[in-house]
């Protein structure tokens, strides 16, 4: 199992001016549909349909995550479209949809997730160590650090989306 070490920030607005000024260089844009198959305590099992918006290619993944906070165990692997469709169809859930922009800011790779069904934009930075993550000083434009706030987790947002369909 690999360790995913990341910090998340509540991005107040899309950094369009920084992109125009070439302070941020966009590397990739994707549309992600994410469905959780199982959740128990600090563990989650999900599938994703990832569409590369530049090359119009599709990728499907299956992921297991365990833990809370900035460092979590993660196992992710590719699956076929047929297996993805079978799991999503059987589950009959509403996928969480977000546009992910992967970009470079200075020496740092950032990922901006703009959620489509709710008003939320999150910026993530992945690190090689917990020490590196903890010592990282974000610029003010990143917004509030929400790395340990469960209310902004994809899992919680997805659960709320399922509850809203029942109303």
The Cα–Cα gap between 33 and 65 comes to 17
The Cα–Cα gap between 26 and 109 comes to 10
46-65 pLDDT tens trace: 999 999 998 989 999 999 99
70-98 pLDDT tens trace: 999 999 999 999 999 999 999 899 999 99
Q: How confident is the model at residue 68 (pLDDT cuts 50, 70, 90)?
A: confident
Task: Please give the helix or strand (H or E) that residue 87 lies within, else none.
Answer: helix 81-91
């Amino acid at each position: 199992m690999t360790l995913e070490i990341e910090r998340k920030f509540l991005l107040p607005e899309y950094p369009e001016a920084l992109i125009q000024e070439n302070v941020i260089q966009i590397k990739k844009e994707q549309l992600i549909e994410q469905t959780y198959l199982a959740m128990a305590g600090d563990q989650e099992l999900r599938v994703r349909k990832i569409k590369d918006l530049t090359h119009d290619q599709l990728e499907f993944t299956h992921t297991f995550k365990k833990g809370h906070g900035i460092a979590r165990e993660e196992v992710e692997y590719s699956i076929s479209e047929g297996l993805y469709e079978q799991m999503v169809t059987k589950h009959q859930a509403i996928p969480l949809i977000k546009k992910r922009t992967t970009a470079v800011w200075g020496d740092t790779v950032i990922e901006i997730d703009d959620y489509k069904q709710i008003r939320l934009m999150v910026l993530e930075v992945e690190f090689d160590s917990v020490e590196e993550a903890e010592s990282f000083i974000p610029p003010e434009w990143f917004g509030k650090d929400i790395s340990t706030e469960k209310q902004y987790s994809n899992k919680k947002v997805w659960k709320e989306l399922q509850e809203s369909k029942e109303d």
